[in-house]
């Protein structure tokens, strides 16, 4: 079935390094993608989104890249900080799907001091 | 401005009981969606409501139902609780009902079924 998944379940990085979290999706009708950050005991927090007519979008310390050819999405976090430690989810929405988001299983990002 | 609020924060129920979870969206948002998040997994879509009408339903049994009120707040009801219903129930609000707008999540309600 259609799914959104992540390549790496756990990513450990040193403070100050850049982090890259990857996500693969299988629904070719997907046209809107979102990255969420979820800290323990909290709801998912919106980080950044990108529409299918774009390849790259930048925010504050974060960049999302979309490769529609291989159905791949990535989140880059610059100068990773301890406060970035959390589980990161990519989510996908397809045209005509209303507000239904399909989430992957998540990547645990651990920032080491 | 207040974000999405949910109540209660935690809830413990027994198998077979009924539960009602509540959500208040961000002011001005007309769409509310409900998700179930089992420990260690990503959220799974249950329902979407927009302007008090159901706009989407996920693959959940009929024991799950929801509604949206004129003030756009929403309730999620689960009947005949099973142990497998233990999860974090998340509510997300959005101004748009078409999936092209940002969705903001509340802190969730942690439901434990014993």
Containing domain of residue B68, as a range? 5-96+105-113
Is A8's pLDDT higher than 60? no
**CA dist., res. A21 & res. A64, Å (int):** 10
Burial class (CB within 10 angstroms; exposed 0-12, middle 13-18, buried 19+) of A41: exposed
Residues of B within 8 A of A43 (CB-CB) are: 4, 90, 105-108
Determine the pLDDT at residue B85.
98
Determine the pLDDT at residue B99.
65
Cα torsion B26, B29, B35, B39: sign: negative
Four-CA torsion B79, B52, B21, B87, nearest 10 degrees: 80
DSSP structure class, residue A81: -
Q: Distance (Å) from the C-alpha of residue A95 to the closest C-alpha of chain B?
A: 7
Q: Which of B48, B99, B105 sits opposite A32 (nearest CB)?
A: B99
Determine the pLDDT at residue A7.
47
Q: pLDDT of A41-86, one tens digit each?
A: 899 999 999 999 999 999 999 999 999 999 999 999 999 999 999 9
Q: Determine whether the interchain pair A46/B97 forms a contact, defined as Cβ–Cβ distance below 8 Å.
A: no
Q: Domain count of chain B?
A: 1
Asked if residue B87 lies in contact with residue B35, where contact means CB atoms within 8 angstroms, the answer is no
**CA dist., res. B113 & res. A84, Å (int):** 32
* CATH number where B17 lies: 2.60.40.10
- Residue tagged 């399909």 (tokens): A102
Residue A18 has phi, psi (to 5 degrees) of -90, 145
Whether A36 contacts chain B with CB within 8 A = yes
Q: Is there a cis peptide before residue A49, judged by omega within 30 degrees of 0?
A: no
All structural domains of chain A? 4-112 (2.60.40.10)
Asked if residue B5 lies in contact with residue B105, where contact means CB atoms within 8 angstroms, the answer is no
Whether A89 contacts chain B with CB within 8 A = yes
**CA dist., res. A12 & res. A6, Å (int):** 15
Q: Distance (Å) from the C-alpha of residue B81 to the closest C-alpha of chain A?
A: 23
Determine the pLDDT at residue B69.
96
Which of A26-40, A94-108, B91-105 has the highest mean predicted lDDT (pLDDT)?
Answer: A26-40
Residues of A within 8 A of B23 (CB-CB) are: none
Q: Would you write out chain B's pLDDT as a tens digit for each of its 114 residues?
A: 579 999 999 999 999 999 999 999 999 999 999 999 998 889 999 999 999 999 989 999 999 999 999 999 999 999 999 999 999 999 999 987 776 678 899 999 999 999
């Amino acid at each position: 079935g259609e799914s959104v998944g992540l390549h790496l379940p756990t990513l450990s990085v040193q403070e100050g390094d850049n982090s890259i979290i990857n996500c693969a999706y299988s629904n070719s009708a997907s046209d809107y993608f979102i990255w969420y950050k979820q800290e323990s005991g909290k709801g998912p927090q919106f980080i950044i989104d990108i529409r299918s007519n774009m390849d790259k979008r930048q925010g504050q310390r974060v960049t999302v890249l979309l490769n529609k050819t291989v159905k791949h999405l990535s989140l880059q976090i610059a100068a990773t900080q301890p406060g970035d430690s959390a589980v990161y989810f990519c989510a996908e929405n397809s045209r005509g799907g209303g507000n239904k988001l399909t989430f992957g299983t998540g990547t645990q990002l651990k920032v080491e001091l | 401005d207040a974000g999405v609020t949910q109540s209660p924060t935690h809830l413990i129920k027994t198998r077979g009981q009924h539960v009602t979870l509540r959500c208040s969206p961000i002011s001005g948002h007309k769409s509310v969606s409900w998700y179930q998040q089992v420990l260690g997994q990503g959220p799974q879509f249950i329902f979407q409501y927009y302007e008090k009408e159901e706009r989407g339903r996920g693959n959940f049994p009929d024991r799950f139902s929801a509604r949206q009120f004129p003030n756009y707040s929403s309730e999620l009801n689960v009947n005949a609780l099973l142990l497998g219903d233990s999860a974090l129930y998340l509510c997300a609000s959005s101004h748009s009902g078409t999936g092209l707008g940002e969705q903001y999540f509340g802190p969730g309600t942690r439901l434990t079924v014993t």
